[in-house]
Amino acid sequence: MVPNTHLYGGNVDWTPTNGQAIWDAVEVFGQPANVAGQYTWLSAKLKDGLNGKLSYRPYVNNGGWLKFYSDGEPGGGTEGSTYVEAIQMHLTGEAAETYDLYYAVATAQRGQLGFAKAGEIAGTVDLGDWVTDLKVVLVPKGTGAPASTLDRYFGPFSGRIQFTETAATCVNADGTPYTGWADYDEVRYYFKDGYTLSGWQYIDGLKFYFYPNGQLCQDVDGLIGPQAEYELKVNKTLNCLTVYAKDGENGFIIPVKAMLTSVGDDTPIGTFQTPEKYRWRLMYNDTYTQYATRIQAGAGFLFHSITYETTNPHTLIASGYNGLGVVRSAGCIRLTCENAKWIYDNCKIGTNVTIYEDPNTPSPFMKPYVVLIPDDQNYDPTDPNV
């Protein structure tokens, strides 16, 4: 097994309409797996001379979506039985002001796939196929995307879901109408007798809103407006918080939004009531945090933003922001500034907080993620104050 096998496959037959695409701006490497052509992990980094952060997260056969890695870190597994099925990439910093990021994979069973733009999925998900090559290109802004007639993504519902301008239909593998949830290319649907639902619907004991085209609305805050009270439920295992609103006598069964968190090993399990809030709060390690809400009386655990060196929002510690979604706190629950502020502004003292463990389902909604920021960035990109 030879580590750090170079994957970059060279040019494809495409030239931008204006300007010059940079095909050699990104180095891509992979660790071979047990099976020829499979890769246990992939990595990518900008070459010298380009300032910015290139981040990527792989989808692997035995772990699903992993966290974001960056700047040449191996992203994937450590066992030879792990292989990468798909990848999602982002570009931030100075380079992102000048270039758009595109990338395409080839897979063992489908060959070359089409180009994905930053943030899109390239590859296959849960089909037993694996990435055999990855091409990355930076395109000067305004010059157009790489032309391709190939699909960039395949999943379990590929070929089963048929889309129109206003709705979608779905069948089982045998062609009969499908009923149930379906995730396709980072969009969630619910089908009943083969057809999407729309409007407010009660499903699995909860109340959801679906757009007219059938897509699940995964943030109904703007639809329902401010509520008198909310409940907060934190999945400690999968680092995801879900806000719930009340549906009259039915109780708190309306999922409002999901938030990415970073908890700690000492984060308590149970149900608590929030007793205090702080606009800025000095932490035990002489750092500061914004929009802190205490989780339980008599304990030091808080919901709070990422930490800062001072009470100036331009002194963010970037590594904390980039570590969201990973268990790394001393027991508090870290959030983006935007989400910490939402709880601070909207959840009154006495709000019920339930912290639980579930290794399978992060939330009724898809688990959010953050795009990594450059190591020298000194502010939270979600902070409304900067």
**pLDDT at 241 (0 to 100):** 99
Residues 58 and 61: their CA atoms lie apart, in Å, by: 10
In whole angstroms, give the CA distance from residue 236 to residue 234. Answer: 6
Domains delineated in the chain: 5-154 (no CATH), 161-210 (no CATH), 227-356 (2.40.440.10)
pLDDT in tens, 83-122: 999 999 999 999 999 999 999 999 999 999 999 999 999 9
Cα R_g (the chain), whole angstroms: 22
Cα–Cα dist 170/374, whole Å: 41
Query: Using CA atoms, how far apart are residues 91 and 257, in angstroms rounded to an integer?
Result: 26
Q: Distance (Å, rounded) from C-alpha 59 to C-alpha 107?
A: 13
Whose tokens are 């970073």? That residue is 262
Q: Going by C-beta distance under 8 Å and a sequence separation of 6 or more, which residues neighbour residue 218? A: 188, 257, 258, 365, 366
Query: Residue 169 burial by CB count (10 A; 0-12/13-18/19+): exposed, middle or buried?
Result: middle
Instruction: Kindly state the tokens that stand for 283.
Output: 């932490």
Q: Which of 341, 339, 328, 268 is nearest to 298 (CA)?
A: 268
Written as six digits, the tokens of 52 are: 């910015």
Cα dist. 342→226, 243, 259, 382, 383 in Å?
11, 10, 10, 11, 11
Q: Give exposure, 321-330, as e/b (b: 16+ Cβ within 10 Å).
A: bbbbbeeebe
For tokens 């695409």, what's the residue?
21
**Contact predicate 143/16, CB 8 Å:** yes
pLDDT of residue 7: 39
The token duo for 124 is 């296959």
- Which secondary-structure segment (H or E) carries 30? strand 26-32
Rounded to an integer, what distance in angstroms lies between the CA atom of residue 101 and that of residue 116?
A: 9
Going by DSSP bridges, is the β-strand pair 333-334/302-304 parallel, antiparallel, or unpaired? parallel
Backbone torsions φ then ψ of 111, nearest 5 degrees = 70, -150
Both tokens of 212, joined, read 């007219």
Indicate the length of the chain as a whole number. Answer: 386
pLDDT on residue 350: 98
Per-residue pLDDT of the chain (386 residues; tens, 9 = 90+): 233 343 333 333 333 334 445 556 687 878 777 777 788 899 888 887 788 999 999 999 999 999 999 988 999 988 888 999 999 999 999 999 999 999 999 999 999 999 999 999 999 999 999 999 999 989 999 888 888 889 999 999 999 999 988 889 999 999 999 999 999 999 999 999 999 999 999 999 999 999 999 999 999 999 999 999 999 999 999 999 999 999 999 999 999 999 999 999 999 999 999 999 999 999 988 999 999 999 999 888 999 999 999 999 999 999 999 999 998 888 999 999 999 999 999 999 999 999 999 999 999 999 999 999 999 999 999 999 99
Alpha-carbon distance of 231 to 364, in angstroms, equals 14
Q: Which two tokens stand for residue 123?
A: 């590859």
Segment 206-253, tens digit of pLDDT: 999 999 999 999 999 999 999 999 999 999 999 999 999 999 999 999
**Phi (first) and psi of residue 319, to 5 degrees:** -65, -30
Dihedral sign (CA 89, 92, 95, 100): positive
- Where b means 16+ CB within 10 Å and e means fewer, 235-273 reads bbebbbbbbbbbeeeeebbbbbbbbbbbbeeebeeeebe
How many C-beta atoms surround the C-beta of residue 14 within 10 A?
A: 16
Tell me, rounded to whole angstroms, the distance of Cα 202 from its chain centroid.
Answer: 26
Cα–chain-centroid distance for residue 227? 27
What's the whole-model pTM score?
A: 0.90
Per-residue pLDDT at 24? 62
Tell me if 365 sits within 8 A of 256, measured CB to CB: no
